[in-house]
Chains A and B, each alone.
Chain A
Amino acid sequence: MDVGRHPKIRLLAYSEVEGVEGEMGNFRIRVRKKARYVDENKCTGCGSCAEKCPTVVCDAYNVGLAKRKAIYKYFAQGIPSVYTIDAAHCRNFETGKKCGLCSRICQAGAIDYQQEDRIVELDVGAIILATGYELFDARKVPEYGYGRLPNVVTSLEFERFLSASGPTGGHVYKPSDLAVSEVLATLEKQMRTSSREIERFEKTFEMSSERFIEKFNSGELTGGHYDEWAGQYRSFLPLKEKFKRTKERAESLKTAHRLAFIQCVGSRDSRFNGHCSAFCCMHSIKEAVIAREHDPESEVHIFGMDIRAVGKNFEEYRNRAEGEAGIKFIRSRVAEVTENDSHNPVIWYEDTKARQVRSMEVDMAILAVACEPGPSARRLSELLGVPLNEFGFYATLTVPPLDTFRPGVFACGCAHGPMDIPESVAQASSAAARAASALMGARSKEQGAGSGEQDAESRKQVAGSEDHGAKAKKREAGKGE
């Protein structure tokens, strides 16, 4: 928010860096400002366009658990608070159909279907890479069954389940149960079509289906229409039965009571990422505690080799989770997750303290997925001539630790390596300070040489974070004096 309002910071969201030339103190950056088809200066973010938009799209922010519209804001608190048309799904662009609903509804007149990508050239003195991270794809670990077993979810998905503004309103329903409501809707539709057909037959032949089928079975009635009727009725009966059963299940929906958190999924694992992802121990404990707050009856286990509670009060938090919140910690890396007949995950593990192989049935298993370099890291590293380290994050000097191997280019946050929010914030301030001091040097050199060109005086930072490839958000702060 502060960044969005700051008079000396220019924000270029939904943009991508395409070229970088020059050197510390005098970089020239080409940025592609992608077309939003909405005028940022006019849009007030009121949301009436999204309310009326007829196209429903899977919502990436809610990790596919909810729906959004083709005109959308990636998430409610996004800066700048303006809407964007998703051209891949909007009717106007995709099928060429004339829809234009949002343009008619928008009171600010911000919708502009003719908008095109714009290239912005920036003169900056220093660059800060804050491109964030990507979550490990848990499908790569076949033994945990993510993607195959419905009630195995990632920590991020679980985070959305817990969120009051999330797709389940903060109730932790099992995904297999949630799927039931969708099945129910489909069945209801099929039932309606089928019963309409049957009613038509009943009206035409003035006979109830029960009586008809008796007669049909005894061979009294045969031939074209009767065969059709019998076929229709015979397929209707199991449908009705299935609908009844599904409805009963949907009505008895319970929230997940038994939760298992599985640590180190894709990290500290030399098959995938050797590094520790740093934040998962703490976020699993946090999610576990919140889940117990929502439902004090729930049984929550955290499976891991150890708990890495590094930082002030972190160890105390872990102990509180165990002592006060009743979270159970099991010293074991989970071997595999199978499924039983009621779609409940079964956790197989060796309790290394008891030296025994055990299995535990739970309602939901939550995978603490690893922190990996963001998808843009490789591209930007080539573009900027900044090498990556063995883990794929930007390589930085040992001292000073935020400097990349190209002078004037700095990295911070999870672009630098896995870390939690407080550490990322601290690094961001630190990177800004490093950029400022680098510019001071460049400026005094130029003044000494007598070429006080105004462009070189401007201090600008380019930072970006590309979350989950769904949204490219580039923050560019320009500070002209």
Chain B
Amino acid sequence: MELAREQIDYCMECGVCTGSCPVSRVLPAFSPRQMIKRVLMDRDETVLEGRELWACLACARCSSRCPARIDFPEFIREYRETARKRGNLPQESHHGALQAIMSLQTRNLSQHRTDWAKEIGRFKTAGDIFFFVGCAPYFDTALKYGPISLEMAGSVLRLLNRMGIEPVVSDDERCCGHDALLSGDRETFHKLAAINLEVIAGAGAKTVLFSCPEGYVTFKTEIPKYFGKLPFEVIHVSQFLARELPGSGLSFRSAENGSGAITYQDPCSLGRKAGIYDPPRDLINMVPGVKFEEMARNRENSVCCGTSAWMECSECSKEMQVERLLEAAGAGASTLITACPKCAIHLSCAEQNTDITLKIKDLYSFLLDRVE
């Protein structure tokens, strides 16, 4: 916890973090400022033993605005590591099924990770471009929301194929370890990352494409912290497509009339954590006839989809999600597009129990549906 202690010494107790926190607005007892203050006053125990340690979404709304540049999500991550060792554990969603899947992948096992891909597209086992699919093949099996994340991965593969690109998709790929790291399980993260680096090296890839923003930031910023500079380029699919699509010869059909406006949900990992705001918007606007409307809180000010790392899903999450859906509807949108499978899953889940009729779509399926 040395790093966390050192960083928070600069805290001015200004309240920007708590004022910005979407969780604090719903759960007044949760306050990043007061957690930092308690640690500064040598009352670490209250933080390590409390439940609120697990309520943080690591959405980086606080840290991106902090005038002292305190990385609150990193502070939380370090304290979670200690809390976990002391037996203070998070409330895992879906009965911990997803955490079990993650830790299973640290072992030597044979996976059928590419079955979905065989049905819909072409891919290789070795080559320059590696498409890191992430947990999509598991999400749809473990959850009850239908083919949300595989539709996204499938659309990426088909778009790449249409552009004449046959990427590597591997059976041996593992979970990126993002959720393990965030929930204080560095050991699992470490094991997963080591296997993934080996798999990518084995395929001889020079560029690794990520469709999931969390996988992207994990490889872009987290893994290099522990493993040093990576021997390949890490690029998000939205960046890649925004760069390559215009010259690829592919063109788009006009968005049908009467389909209403489209809005875009910035995933926290892609937006605030990676600064990728424009490529997804550029891609949406490549489709002729699109009526694009921003939600009131967008880009840097965007709000999290309510849950992270498959834990602590609560009334608070639901309230945030419904508020966000209403914000999209209030902007006049009939379709909400996101570039993150988790945003799509969480928002679809919340919508089921409301009378909001917003179409929730991932960026790549939206594009694929309109390719001529």
Bitwise interface map of B from 156 to 185 toward A, beta carbon under 8 Å scored 1, else 0: 000000000000000000000000000000
The yes or no answer to B20 lying at the interface (CB within 8 A) is: yes
Identify which of B17, B296, B299, B301 gathers the most chain A CB atoms within 10 Å of its CB: B301
Pick out which of these stretches binds chain A: B65-73, B190-198, B361-369. B65-73
B299 contact set on A, CB distance < 8 A = 142
The verdict on A335 contacting B28 (CB below 8 Å), with A143-B20, A349-B15, A357-B19 known, is no
Total number of B residues with any Cβ neighbor in A under 8 Å: 26
Question: Quick one: which of B10, B28, B67, B297 contacts A357, CB cutoff 8 A?
Answer: B28
B301 with A333: CB separation less than 8 A: no
Minimum CB–CB distance from B301 to chain A (whole Å) comes to: 6
Asked if B34 lies at the interface with its beta carbon under 8 angstroms from chain A, I say yes
Q: Determine if B67 and A333 form an interchain contact, defined as CB atoms under 8 angstroms apart.
A: yes
Q: Is the pair A336, B69 in contact by a Cβ cutoff of 8 Å?
A: no
Chain A 332-350, CB-CB to B under 8 Å as 1, else 0, gives 1111101100000000111
Find out whether the CB atom of B18 lies under 8 angstroms from the CB atom of A357: yes
- Which chain B residues lie closer than 8 Å to A356 at the CB level? 28
Residues of A within 8 A of B301 (CB): 142-143, 336
- Residues from chain A with Cβ under 8 Å of B12 in the complex: 268, 305, 333
Q: B16 contacts A333, CB within 8 Å? A: yes
Report A349-372 CB contacts with B as 1/0, cut-off 8 Å.
111100111000000000000000
Query: Which chain A residue lies CB-closest to B297?
Result: A338
What's the interface size class on A, roughly?
Answer: 20 to 34
* Cα-based distance from A355 to B12 in the complex (angstroms): 15
CA distance A355 to B65 in the complex (A): 19
B101 at the A interface (CB under 8 A): no
Are A357 and B65 interface neighbours, CB within 8 A?
A: no
Residue numbers in A under 8 Å from B19 (CB-CB): 332-336, 348-350, 357
Taking A143-B300, A336-B20 as contacts, is the C-beta distance between A352 and B65 under 8 angstroms? no
> For residue B15, which residues in chain A have a CB less than 8 angstroms away from its CB?
332-333, 335, 349-352
Chain A residues within an 8 Å CB radius of B31? 350, 355
* Cβ contact of A350, chosen from B10, B18, B297, cutoff 8 A: B18
- Residues of chain A from 268 to 284 with CB closer than 8 A to chain B in the complex: 268-271
B24 part of interface (Cβ distance < 8 Å):
yes
Give A350's nearest chain B residue, CB to CB. Answer: B15
Contacts of B21 in A (CB 8 A): 357
Measured between alpha carbons, how far is A199 from B212 in the docked complex, in Å? 61
Considering the complex, give the chain B residue whose CB is closest to the CB of A337.
B301
Say yes or no for A264: interface residue by CB 8 A criterion: yes
Q: B300 contacts which of A142, A332, A338, A348 (Cβ < 8 Å)?
A: A142
Residues 92-114 of B at the A interface (beta carbon under 8 Å): none
Q: Which of B14, B24, B296 is within 8 Å of A333, CB to CB?
A: B14
A/B pair count, beta carbons within 8 Å: 70
Decide yes or no whether B25 CB sits under 8 A from chain A.
yes
Q: Is B220 an interface residue (CB 8 A)?
A: no
> With A and B bound together, what is the CA distance between A348 and B301 in angstroms?
12
Identify B67's interface contact among A142, A270, A332, CB under 8 A: A270
Look across to chain A and name the residue whose beta carbon is closest to the beta carbon of B31.
A355
Min CB distance, B20 to chain A, in Å?
Answer: 4
Q: How far is the CA of A334 from the CA of B31 in the complex (A)?
A: 15
**How far, in whole Å, are A348 and B67 apart by their CA atoms in the complex?**
16
Cα–Cα distance between A151 and B14 once the two chains are bound (Å): 24
Interface contact A270-B69, CB-CB below 8 Å? yes
- Give complex CA distance A441, B18 in Å: 59
B69 touching A271 by the CB < 8 A rule? yes
Q: Give A235 Cβ to nearest chain B Cβ, in Å.
A: 20
Distance from A267 Cβ to chain B, minimum over Cβ atoms (Å): 9
Q: Which of B13, B19, B31, B68 has the most CB of A within 10 A?
A: B19
Closest A-chain residue to B10, C-beta based? A270
- Which one of B14, B34, B65, B297 contacts A332 once the chains associate, using CB atoms below 8 Å? B14
- Determine if A143 and B69 form an interchain contact, defined as CB atoms under 8 angstroms apart: no
A352-B34 Cα distance, complex, nearest whole Å: 9
- Within 8 Å CB of A349, what residues of B? 15, 19
* Interface residue B281 (Cβ < 8 Å from any Cβ of A): no
Write out the residue numbers on chain A whose beta carbons fall within 8 Å of the beta carbon of B18. 335, 350, 357
Instruction: Say yes or no: A355-B34 contact (C-beta < 8 A), given A271-B69, A348-B19, A349-B15.
Output: yes
Q: CB distance A335 to B69 under 8 Å?
A: no
- Complex alpha-carbon distance, A271 and B18, angstroms: 18
CB distance from A339 to the nearest CB of B (A): 7
A161-198, CB < 8 A from B: none
Q: CB of B33 within 8 A of chain A?
A: yes
Residues of B within 8 A of A332 (CB): 14-15, 19
Nearest chain B CB to A359 CB, angstrom units? 9
Q: Which residue of A lies closest to B299 (CB)?
A: A142
Residues of chain A lying within 8 A (CB to CB) of residue B28: 356-357
Given A332-B15, A339-B296, A357-B25, also A352-B33 (CB < 8 A): yes
Cβ contact within 8 Å between A338 and B296 = yes
Q: Which residue of A lies closest to B33 (CB)?
A: A350
In the complex, A270→B70 CA distance in Å? 10
User: How close is A260's CB to chain B, nearest CB, in angstroms?
Assistant: 13
B19-73 contacts to A, CB under 8 A, are 19-21, 24-25, 28, 31, 33-34, 65, 67-69
Q: Report how far A336 CA is from B13 CA in the complex, Å.
A: 16
Chain B nearest Cβ from A209, distance in angstroms: 30
B66-89, CB < 8 A from A: 67-69
What CA separation (Å) do A305 and B12 show in the bound complex?
Answer: 8
A150 to B227, CA, bound (A): 47
Q: Quick one: which of A268, A335, A339, A351 contacts B65, CB cutoff 8 A?
A: A335
B residues less than 8 Å from A351 (CB atoms): 15
- State how many angstroms separate the Cβ of A198 from the closest Cβ of chain B: 30
Chain B residues near A264: list those with CB within 8 A.
67
* CB-defined contacts of B67 to chain A, threshold 8 Å: 264, 268-271, 333
Residues of A within 8 A of B297 (CB): 338
Alpha-carbon separation in the docked complex, A264 to B297 (Å): 22
Segment 320-338 of A: residues with Cβ below 8 Å from B = 332-336, 338
By beta carbon, the residue of chain B nearest A141 is B65
Shortest distance in angstroms between B116's beta carbon and chain A's nearest beta carbon?
Answer: 39
CB of A335 within 8 A of CB of B33, answer no
Specify which chain A residues have a CB less than 8 angstroms from the CB of B13 in the assembled complex: 305, 352
Complexed CA–CA distance, A268 and B296 (Å): 28
Find chain B residues with CB under 8 A from A270 CB.
Answer: 10, 67-69
Q: When chains A and B are docked, how far (Å) is the Cα of A271 from the Cα of B28?
A: 27
B348 to chain A, nearest CB (A): 26
- Contact A335 B16, beta carbon cutoff 8 Å: yes
The CA-CA distance from A334 to B297 in the complex, in Å, is 16
Q: Which residues of B contact A350 (CB under 8 A)?
A: 15-16, 18-19, 24, 31, 33
A73 to chain B, nearest CB (A): 40
User: How distant is A33 from chain B, measured CB to nearest CB, in Å?
Assistant: 43
Cα of A337 to Cα of B67 in the assembled complex, Å: 16
Q: How far is the CA of A350 from the CA of B20 in the complex (A)?
A: 8
- How far apart are A122's CB and chain B's nearest CB, in angstroms? 44
Residues of A contacting B24 in the complex (Cβ-Cβ under 8 angstroms): 350, 357
CB distance from A261 to the nearest CB of B (A): 15
Q: Determine the chain A residues whose CB is within 8 A of the CB of B25 once the complex forms.
A: 357
Least Cβ–Cβ distance between B299 and chain A, in angstroms? 7
Contact in complex: A305, B14 (CB < 8 Å): yes
A355-B34, A357-B21 known; 8 new pairs, CB 8 Å cut-off, are A142-B300, A270-B68, A334-B16, A348-B19, A350-B16, A351-B15, A352-B15, A356-B28
Closest 5 CB pairs of A and B: A335-B19, A333-B14, A350-B15, A269-B67, A142-B300
13 contacts between A and B (CB under 8 A): A142-B300, A143-B300, A264-B67, A271-B69, A333-B16, A335-B17, A339-B296, A350-B16, A351-B15, A352-B13, A352-B14, A355-B34, A357-B24
